């Protein structure tokens, strides 16, 4: 997870488990991740009332240190998205994001390219503050909500969920 992203993450306690999980992630074997994010503007929803979709934008390292960018000859990068709550006119829109690929800052770049970026994203978004929160409590509204993967020993799928505190 990015430093600023909250939510569930997994750590292996043994080398064998770490190796198994690394391979599962690399090969995308039965691994799924779901994130929640808040955005102020999501044109597919705001303008077209589209409730779900897929973003396919290739990404490559930027000239700026630690940043990535959309680039036609970059690595393929895909994110499925769904609007969970866009009912309040002045409130941020709540999105469910499911990365199909796992590129650095993928969700943040995809949200920034399609809409206003994730609320509080000072790296790729517009850095919008959450209107109801004081400046000292600002944060990135990107949360790793659900993580599902095969258990290293039993090979059964396990699922972990962490509700956001917002």
Which residues are known catalytic residues?
2
Q: Is residue 157 within 8 Å of residue 148, measured between CB atoms? A: yes
Q: For residue 142, which of 113, 108, 115, 109 has the smallest C-alpha distance?
A: 108
Residue 139's CB: how many other CB atoms inside 10 A? 17
Strand intervals (E) in the chain: 6-7, 32-39, 52-56, 59-61, 68-70, 78-85, 93-99, 142-150, 157-161
């Amino acid at each position: 997870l990015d430093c600023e992203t909250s939510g569930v993450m997994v750590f292996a306690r043994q080398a064998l488990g770490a190796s198994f999980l690394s391979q599962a992630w690399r090969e995308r074997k039965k691994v799924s991740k779901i994130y929640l994010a808040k955005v102020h503007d999501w044109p597919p929803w705001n303008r077209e009332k589209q409730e779900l979709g897929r973003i396919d934008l290739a990404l490559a390292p930027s000239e700026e240190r630690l940043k990535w960018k959309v680039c036609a000859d970059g690595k393929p990068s895909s994110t499925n998205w769904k609007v969970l709550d866009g009912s309040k006119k002045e409130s941020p829109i709540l999105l469910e994001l499911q990365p199909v690929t796992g590129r650095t800052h993928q969700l943040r770049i995809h949200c920034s390219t399609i809409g206003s970026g994730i609320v509080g994203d000072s790296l790729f978004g517009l850095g919008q503050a959450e209107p109801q929160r004081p400046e000292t409590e600002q944060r990135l509204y990107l949360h790793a909500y659900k993580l599902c993967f095969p258990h290293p020993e039993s090979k059964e799928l396990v699922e972990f969920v962490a509700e956001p505190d917002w």
